[in-house]
Amino acid sequence: MVEENAAAGVLVYTFNVTVSPLSSEGVAILPTIVNSKPLTDAFDIESKGDLEYRVVTTGNPVLDYETMPKSFDLQIFVEDTAGRTDLNVLTVHVTDKNERPVFRGNMAIQTQDWRYVKISLSPESTTHIAAHSDGCLFTAVTIYVLERTPLGRIYQVDAADPEKAELKYSLLPATVPFLILESGAIFSTKEFDYEKDPHSYFLNITVTDPGGLNSTKTVNIKIININDEVPYFTTKQRIYRIPEEQSPGTIIANITARDPDDEGSPSRLFYSIQSSDRYFSINPATGVLHVTGRIDRDALPLQRHPNISVIVRVEDSPSGGHASEMEITIMVEDINDNPPECNPFTFRREANENTAPGTFLLDLRNYCKDIDVDPSNNQFNFTGLSGFGSNNFALESTASGRLVMTESIDLENPANLGVEVYSLTVRVQDIACPNYSNMIYIYIRIKPVNEFFPVFSNLSYEFNVPEITKVGSSIGRVNARDKDRPPSVITYSIVAGGGTRDYTNIFWISPTKGDVKILARLDYETTQKHILTVQASDQEKSATASVTVNVLEVNDEEPVCSPNFYSFQIPVSLAVGTNINGFRIECQDRDSDPRSFRYFINEGNVNNHFTFSPSAGSNSSRLILASRFNYESGFDTNWIYRLHVFITDDNLLSARDKATRLVKTGTVTLSIRVIPNPTTVIATRPGFTVVTKRENLYSESAWYVPFVVTLGSLLLLGLLGYLGFLLATWVCTSCPPAGRVDGAPLINAPEKKKPKKEVVVTMTKLNTVFDGEARDPVTGKMYEFNTRSGARRWKKSGEPLQPTPAVQVTSSATDDGGQGTDRAEAPSKKEPSEKRKELMTETHPAAKPWAGQSETSGRDGLRLQKQKEESEDRVLSSPVPQGRH
């Protein structure tokens, strides 16, 4: 039998070995435990000598009654040198023994050097186990407890009795603020404050079994400091004064603070500025407050509020810790750091040239200021007036800044010629050091005063101008000056003269240069001299001069003859030398003597049958038959001659003068028809009358249409009447009568009869054609319209669109002798639905001599008829001129 927990080498059993007689040398194989039941290494066999052996414990493993088998069967084998063997079984019984209680868990760890193992026991504590050996077994467990931890369990001691007996726990010393329950739970009896209580406690924990055996372990409880205190500032100063314009980085203050949690060690605090500040920043680790932005006392907002409040915050943790705040005030003091400034710094003033000395011009102080806030720094004065012409100006005093004139300036003075602007400079300077300054630039423009009247270079001007000078040509120039300096701008104008019956003014003068030009053609025959009054003005004062324009005569008028067109008939047997039909032309020239006239036929005188007599030197000439007609031999083939007669005013000029002098030519056109047999010739002119029919229908709701149509018709009738008057006037002046001249007979006929002419005129009605149709958007009725004139009428039911009608004009003229009938026709188609109207005019004129008498047919009036739902006809009858004899 052997007790549990026996140490190594404890005797368990002793036995002897007997060898056989044959074995002289003893045991070949020593007794050996070859097997055990159960298997174990807890036993071993040692030799005592002389074949005596003993079974001892090995101590590995240590026998434990509570956890290991209670007995072991050991098989022991032995063999002698003779080869004989033996195997016996030894049963060893393990007996129970009362053992000391055993700590388990962290407290059961034993070691010979310090080791720390961190384990979590509870949310409120952390346990570190340390073991130390210095000759005796010493086991220590360290328990860390956070300060401010509420009362409660801080650790659970774990111990066991090998015999499963109930154990008891106790701790020493009893004065510590801890207790242990029978269950082994250690409780704190107070809330610890690291800053006031001991930082460490040593507890001896003893566990005892019912037999009185016990075990003791030491527990070291350390109070852990937590961040539960608010840091506080140690800097007492709250107000700082600094001058403005400190350079960045300048230290303003060193803010310090302490944290009670850091007693005995340097505090780790974090500094910051809570207020939004652009002028200062603080080192977060050291608390040094320094300048980061420009501090300008003279600019807003410091100009009005020079005291800067800074909220400094100190924290014991970058985030989530305790913090304190302190307000400090930084008072910014003004320095003289700004020069006086003027806005604007450039001045432009004007003064009249005759301004009296002492006249005030400019007060500089109204435009200058020093933005330094402190009155001792913003005072300034004005000095150093200089520049071109500065002797004419002065400052009343250095403090006032008032600029005045000292002398009157006369621009007409030769010393001041060309000088209009005086450039001055003035220095504006601080009174306080370091005497900052700026320059002011002043430009004084001396305005000229209009003291003198313009004076023309001549009292009067005379220009000789040919009457053929082109319109727009310059005929001369006037010039005026005054003594003002700089020279005034002279403006020229015509204030009187130069007008005619047809033009208000036929002359124009350049306002700036004085050039006189003509605006209309000059006419010596109308006006030989024009007297103008020309004015020269400098906008304030003016002077006048007389301009005489002499119009020089030039041959610019052509001969004018009457008649300038004539048409007549002559018999083929007319005698040579006969004044044809007594025809005579009379000419006049406004700028030439009648003796200068020369007559010749330029064109159309085939075979030279016609000539004028006299051919030159007279204002009257007759048409003479110069040679007979010869149609029988074929020499003559033309029956109609159109003669172009030229009348020139160069008869009195030599051949050389004709090449250099102006020669004017008048023209006359004659139409001569040669008839085979002698007869009384009646010059006739066909005529025709156009009758126009227009139909217009308008909606009754368009009340304004009749008014507009009536007004337009009246205006149109007035215009047509005026045009007819102009046409009649032109016909009377342009178409000479074809009759007798100076009582000469037309043809050498045996008797004189008054020609008789019958004129038949057929007038064709021109109807308005309605070639389109549409629906009225108001009434819904259909209406027809003319696409060219826009005329409209209501459409009759079942009536088709009208086609475009043609126009027919027929005229015929018959004389008594039956000589010649001319007829011109234009075919026309008449629609069955159209109404036709014909107007026939017959005229039986009596023969009268060509003394200017004529008969004219009557003029038909304008008939206007309007009926509802019917057409409106407008008939216009034009006069038919009667042939001249």
pLDDT for 539-557, tens place per residue? Answer: 888 999 999 999 988 777 7
What stretch of H or E contains 707?
helix 704-734
As a whole-number percent, the residues of the chain with pLDDT over 90 amount to 24
pLDDT band at 21 (very low <50, low <70, confident <90, very high): confident
Q: Is the pLDDT of residue 803 over 60?
A: no
Q: Quick: pLDDT tens for 507-538.
A: 999 999 999 999 888 888 888 899 999 999 98
Tokens 């909606």, residue?
Answer: 699
CA dist., res. 507 & res. 551, Å (int): 13
Residue 843, pLDDT > 50, answer no
Max mean pLDDT among 217-221, 444-448, 744-748 falls in: 217-221
Q: Which of 58-67, 209-218, 622-631, 788-797 has the lowest mean pLDDT?
A: 788-797
Residue 874, pLDDT score: 35
Point out the least confidently predicted range of 403-417, 455-469, 722-736.
403-417
Evaluate if residue 806 carries a pLDDT over 80. Answer: no
Between CA 279 and CA 332 the distance in angstroms is 11
Average pLDDT over residues 727-740: 72
Helices (H) and strands (E) in the chain, counts: 2, 63
The two tokens of residue 114 are: 């310090």
- Cβ contacts of residue 370 below 8 Å, gap of 6+? 338, 339, 340, 341, 377, 378, 379, 380, 430
* Alpha-carbon span 622 to 577, nearest angstrom: 11
Q: Is the dihedral of CA 188, 194, 198, 200 positive or negative?
A: positive
DSSP tag of 248:
T
pLDDT value, residue 655: 66
Provide the pLDDT for residue 862.
Answer: 29
Contact 100, 160 (CB under 8 A): no
Task: List b or e across 497-513, with b for residues whose CB sees 16 or more CB atoms inside 10 angstroms.
Answer: bbeeeeeebbbbbeeee
Looking at residue 703, its pLDDT comes to 67
The Cβ of residue 681 has, within 10 Å, a number of other Cβ atoms equal to 22
Average pLDDT, integer, range 39-54: 88
**Residue 861 reports pLDDT greater than 60:** no
Q: Peptide bond before 755: cis, by omega within 30 degrees of 0?
A: no
Residue 318 burial (C-beta neighbours within 10 Å; 0-12, 13-18, 19+): exposed
Instruction: Report the mean per-residue pLDDT for the chain.
Output: 77
Give the residue with greater pLDDT, 346 vs 741: 346
* Residue-level pLDDT at 273: 92
Nearest-angstrom CA–CA distance, 458 and 547: 10
Highest mean pLDDT among 54-58, 693-697, 867-871: 54-58
Pinpoint the alpha helices (H) of 386-532: none
pLDDT at 282: 93
pLDDT band, residue 753 (cuts 50/70/90): very low
Dihedrals phi, psi of 727, to nearest 5 degrees: -65, -40
Say which residue, 86 or 649, is predicted with more confidence: 86
Q: Tokens 């008829």, residue?
A: 865
pTM beyond 0.85: the answer is no
Distance CA 815, CA 681 (A): 9
User: What is the rounded CA–CA span in Å between residue 633 and residue 36?
Assistant: 189
* CA pair distance 822, 542, nearest whole angstrom: 75
Confidence label for 137 from pLDDT (cuts 50, 70 and 90): very low
Residue pair 779/701 in contact by the 8 Å Cβ criterion? yes
Contact indicator for 562, 515 with CB cutoff of 8 Å = no
Confidence of residue 818 (pLDDT cuts 50, 70, 90): very low
What is the tens place of the pLDDT at every residue in 477-515?
A: 999 998 887 778 899 999 998 777 777 888 999 999 999
Asked if the model's pLDDT at residue 694 lies above 70, the reply is no
3-state secondary structure of 671: strand
Tell me what pLDDT residue 800 has: 53
Residue 388 — very low, low, confident or very high, per pLDDT cuts 50/70/90?
confident
Confidence of residue 330 (pLDDT cuts 50, 70, 90): very high
Question: Token digits for 245?
Answer: 């314009």
Percent of the chain at pLDDT exceeding 70? 77
Of 469-483, 734-748, 833-847, where does mean pLDDT reach its minimum? 833-847
Taking residues 321-333, what's their average pLDDT? Answer: 91
> What is the CB-side half-sphere exposure of residue 836 using CA atoms within 13 A?
13
Q: What is the pLDDT of residues 177-191, one digit of tens each?
A: 999 998 889 999 998
What is the arithmetic mean of pLDDT over 281-293?
A: 93
User: Cβ neighbours of residue 517 under 8 Å, at least 6 residues apart?
Assistant: 472, 473, 474, 475, 507, 508, 509, 510
Q: What is the pLDDT of residues 571-613, one digit of tens each?
A: 988 888 889 888 899 898 777 778 878 888 988 888 888 998 8
Amino acid 736: pLDDT = 58
Confidence tier at 662 by pLDDT (50, 70, 90): low
Instruction: State residue 695's pLDDT score.
Output: 47
